[in-house]
Amino acid sequence: MSDGKPDDDALNLEIRKFLKKVGITSQREMERAIYGAVERGQLGVDGTVHARVTLELPELGKTVVIEGDLALA
């Protein structure tokens, strides 16, 4: 950090590690919720589920919401 900026490679690696953790955990939780809802009859196998993820960087005052629909068929 000699030039007053974060090391690009180190920052990229840290972000990738975090996103891998987010991706694996998110997929697992989404699958559990969807399969459970289908088993309980709350959701049809040809349904659609709306998903929303909120990314927060509290120290930076940054919040980003990412949304999309998941088609089950």
Q: Do residues 31 and 39 lie in contact, with contact meaning Cβ atoms separated by under 8 Å? A: no
- H helix runs in the chain, sequence order: 8-39
Structure tokens that stand for 43 in this block: 């959701």
pLDDT value of residue 2: 64
**In the 8-state DSSP scheme, what is residue 5?**
S
pLDDT value of residue 3: 84
Q: Which residues of the chain have pLDDT under 50?
A: 1
**Could you give the CA distance from residue 31 to residue 34 in angstroms, rounded to a whole number?**
5
Classified as helix, coil or strand, 42 is coil
Classified as helix, coil or strand, 72 is coil
